[in-house]
Structures are given as structure tokens and as C-alpha cells.
Structure 1
Amino acid sequence: MPSIKQLLHWPLALLLSLFVAGNAFAVEPIHTNLFGSAIDGYDPVAYFKDSKPVKGENKYSYEWNGAKWYFKNEANKTDFVAAPEKYAPQYGGYCAWAVIQGAAVKTDPNAWHIEDGKLYLNYSQDVQTQWSADIPGNIKKADVQWPSVLAK
């Protein structure tokens, strides 16, 4: 039988573990459209599995990190639910090129690229052409700028 002292420490230990877990998995805010949809309703997993943007369906939706995510099928939804950070676009789904400029700008789901297992979106395909000129260098620049963009 636990002692009174042990019982009194249990709530504190629980709160501490929730705080640590919450911070370990903290994620950035997600860009959504007027309806609260991430990536304008496109399936984030499809970029990886199908190598193209695919519109998700309402019956396969999931709310995560303040946004509603849509999927083309139950399998993609299951994959996302198991590891959303793996499939969610970088920089909260904002334009990767604009992040370099210090801005949070909406994206076109058709202007995308996967680099080192991470999804990057751009404002347009023209902007994506600029981004693509030096993807590794632009990622480094955007990674440096992203905290200041979040602070705005």
C-alpha cells in the first residue's frame, strides 16, 4: 500500500509528465483557409504516397493542431494520425520561400516539393521555381527565419 507521502506526490508527477510531454511534442501553428482546412483540403499523406496533390474527402477528416486535415482514404488518415509531424508541411504550411523573406504567406497545394522526407509548399509554381534554385540553401535560410515569422 502506498504511503500518504507517495499519494501526495502522484498529482505533481502527473502534471510534470504532461508538461514535459506537451513541450516535447509542441508543434507550430498551421495555416488554414477560411474554413479551417489545412492545405486547402488536400491530403498531406498523398504527397508522399502518390507523389502528387490529391484532394481529401470530408468523410476522412481529422482535427490536429488547430486545423482540419482531409484524406483521400482511411489508410492515409490512419498514417497521419499515427505521425502527423511526419506528413504535415514545414513552416506550418506557409510558403517556404516567403518564410525566407520573413513573411507568412498562403500556399498553392500544387506548388510543392519533398526534400529529405519533409513537405514544403510555395505560394505559386513561379515562386516554387525560385525556391527550387537552391533547395538545401533555402531550407537553411527559412529554418533560421521561421522563429521570427512565428513571433510576428
Structure 2
Amino acid sequence: MRPQMAVFALLASFFGLLGLDFAASAATTERIVVNRYSGLAIAGFDPVAYFTDSMAIQGLPDFEAREGGAVWRFRNEGNRASFIAHPEIYGPQFGGYDPVDLGRGVSYPGNPHFWLVAGQRLYLFGREENRDAFAAEPERFLKEAASRWPAVERELAQ
């Protein structure tokens, strides 16, 4: 009887691992920058805090929401509720990809520590230099990124 139990435990562990791996990959999406293992958008930082506190603040597991195939974290229930009501406002533009690189047709993930709120929208940048360039000429970079985003987004979805 013991060998049968060992085989059963081994099979249960194997299928359990498959289930965990599937859950992590199913929770992610290429259209939004997420951690491929946890499904967390923007490394778990609270997207609303960029607006309300003018700083990058780590969200908490107690305040999560699912939107756009990603898991978003918030520092409190008020920020969570604001995001749920208006994800198009509080979520990073271009799915969290760097708009300067998008303007060149490249999908480079933004870093939650290199950010800027411009025109009441959140933008994340892969490098500090890109954020500074964008801040100097936001209209130019937004025009270039917006023109290339549909093609890049289609590519990411494949």
C-alpha cells in the first residue's frame, strides 16, 4: 500500500506544480507590463498613489484588483476603488511600456521608479534619461508613441 501512496503523492505534486505554473501564466498579459510569475502589474506599485501622493508606493496584498488580465495592488481601499472606477485614468498609459521607446517602435517595459504624470496620465519609463527627454517635449513623444502603439500592441498580443 505504501508504494501506491508514494506514486499518488508524486502525481499530485506534479499536477499541483502544473496548476501553479498555469495560474501564473494565465494571470499575465503582454499588453500590460506584468511580472510573468506573479501577474502583478507595475511590480505591485499602487498606480493611484502616483497621483495622490506624487510618489511610487508599494501596494499591499490586502488591496488587490484584477483589470486587463493583470493583478494591481493598492495601499488602501480608497485607491483601489478609484482605480476600479477609472482604470483608463490611473493605469499607466501604453500598458506601462516606455513611450519614448514606443516612439521608436520598441516595446520596452517601464520601471515604476522612473515615472511622470503628464496631462493627468501616468507614464512609466525604462530609463531615467527617457523620462527627462519626455518631460522636456511630451507632445512630441506622445505623438510618436501614439502613432506606433496600435501596431506594437497587436504584435504583443500574438
**Aligned residue pairs, count:** 125
- DSSP 3-state at the match of 1:60: strand
For the pair 1:121 / 2:121, whether they are aligned, the reply is: no
Instruction: Give the 5 Å matches for 1:36-75.
Output: 36-75=39-78
- TM-score of the superposed pair, with normalisation by structure 2: 0.75
1:99 matched residue in structure 2: 102
What is the CA distance between 1:106 and its match in structure 2? 1.3
> Where do residues 1-152 of structure 1 align in structure 2 (5 Å cutoff)?
29-34=31-36, 35-152=38-155
CA separation in 1, counterparts of 2:132 and 2:147? Answer: 21
CA offset digits 1:1-54 (Å, max 9, x no partner) = xxxxxxxxxxxxxxxxxxxxxxxxxxx931111221111100000001001111
Query: What letter is aligned with 1:29?
Result: R
Structure 1 runs, 4 residues or longer, greater than 4 Å off: none
Counterpart of 2:39, as a letter, is G
Structure 1 residue 72: Cα displacement: 0.5
Measured in 2, the distance between the counterparts of 1:43 and 1:132 equals 22
TM-score, length-scaled by structure 1: 0.78
Gaps of 5+ in 1: 1-27
Query: How far, CA to CA, are the matches of 2:127 and 2:142 in structure 1?
Result: 17
Deviation at 1:57, TM superposition (A): 0.3
Instruction: Output the aligned Cα RMSD.
Output: 1.3
